[in-house]
Amino acid sequence: MVREWDPRNASSAEIASLLETLNAILATDLPQDPPWRETCLREYLAEVMPGERRISWVAQAEPAADGTPGPILGHVHVLLLGSIGVLEVLVHPSVRRRGIGRDLVLRAARRVYQEGFESIGVEVVGGTPAIAFYESLGFAREYVETRSVLDLNEVDWAELAQMSTGLGTGYHVQFHPGGPPDELIEAYARAKAEIRDVEDGELRPSSYDPQRLRDSLDCLHRRGMKPYIVLALHEQTGEVAGLTEVVVPAQHPTRADQYDTIVVQDHQGYGIDRAIKARMLLELRSAEPQLEEVQTWNAQANEAMLKVNAELGYRPDREWCEYSVDVAELVHRLDPTR
């Protein structure tokens, strides 16, 4: 049975059942990834940025003979932002190839169509059945990134400490757990505006104006995801010359996510990228002692960033692909009667 589902008022048993399905999927498709925990899972599923909406459906097994609700075996949500809907579908490995995935996509696609959106995007992990699934539904590949993972047990900490000090004179580096301080928000947002050029094709708009940046940080905190920032300040102008962001999610606190790293064009060539990333790892080692790995995503054409990551010890892990489809075509393909 498929029904619309709201994580904000779902029962704890439903949240726990969805977690079980998610972890069964990870064990099958991405066995190297850490299993998720229940901490802040409801908030992770429910909280959105101002102006965005997330609508969810679940596929639930029939109730048991004694009336106990059946487990949640499938889940889809679509995040409506800007002009597109971003989709995510999960089906428990024990019930795959029975049309549940297709049915969930149809529910979401119909709603996205009714709401007047034109296209749907999705992130698809390379080397998993999701590639064949989305291609069978007519989604086209738009963009490919490489995910790389750094194992902190393999880091040479003495070398990293040296890297962290190897930046040109005229800059100083600051560490800000929780996000940039308010007096630096505007300078920080100006530096983030730089990434718009290189993020072409990304599903999520970058937070390049101060209010959007504040909203984005608030949203991260509400979802149980703790941001850490290291930035390089240009002493002469007070401008943010470079920044790097890592988020430690309560749902998988042993593996952190690297978000943006930016060195503003006028400040490139002074070793800022290497120094701020090295400093971040040194700080995380004491701030988050349970942390074992950091994962990052890079465009395959971004050779400079890939080189620095390789020096730090990141190893390429998987392709991470963005696919998209025209909503009207998708609805017609899945439900030709309409």
Ligand X SMILES: CC(C)(COP(=O)(O)OP(=O)(O)OC[C@H]1O[C@@H](n2cnc3c(N)ncnc32)[C@H](O)[C@@H]1OP(=O)(O)O)[C@@H](O)C(=O)NCCC(=O)NCCS
Binding site for ligand X (CB under 6 A): 25-26, 29-30, 89-91, 96-102, 125, 128-130, 132-133, 136
The residue (of 141 and 190) whose beta carbon lies closer to ligand X is: 141
Q: Dihedrals φ, ψ of 205, to 5°?
A: -65, 145
Spatial contact of 191 and 239, defined as CB atoms under 8 Å apart: yes
194 DSSP 8-state letter: T
In whole angstroms, give the CA distance from residue 304 to residue 11: 47
**How many other C-beta atoms can be found within 10 angstroms of the C-beta atom of residue 43?**
17
CB of 306 to ligand X, least distance (A): 23
The residue (of 185 and 321) whose beta carbon lies closer to ligand X is: 321
CB of 102 to ligand X, least distance (A): 3
CB of 330 to ligand X, least distance (A): 13
In whole angstroms, give the CA distance from residue 41 to residue 16: 9
As given in the structure block, the two tokens for residue 234 are 């240009």
DSSP code per residue over 165-187: H---TTEEEEEEETS--GGGHHH
CB of 30 to ligand X, least distance (A): 5
CB of 78 to ligand X, least distance (A): 14
In whole angstroms, give the CA distance from residue 241 to residue 117: 37
The residue (of 91 and 240) whose beta carbon lies closer to ligand X is: 91
The residue (of 97 and 338) whose beta carbon lies closer to ligand X is: 97
Task: Give the CB-nearest residue to ligand X.
Answer: 101
> Please, which residues bridge with residue 151 across strands?
293
The residue (of 73 and 262) whose beta carbon lies closer to ligand X is: 73
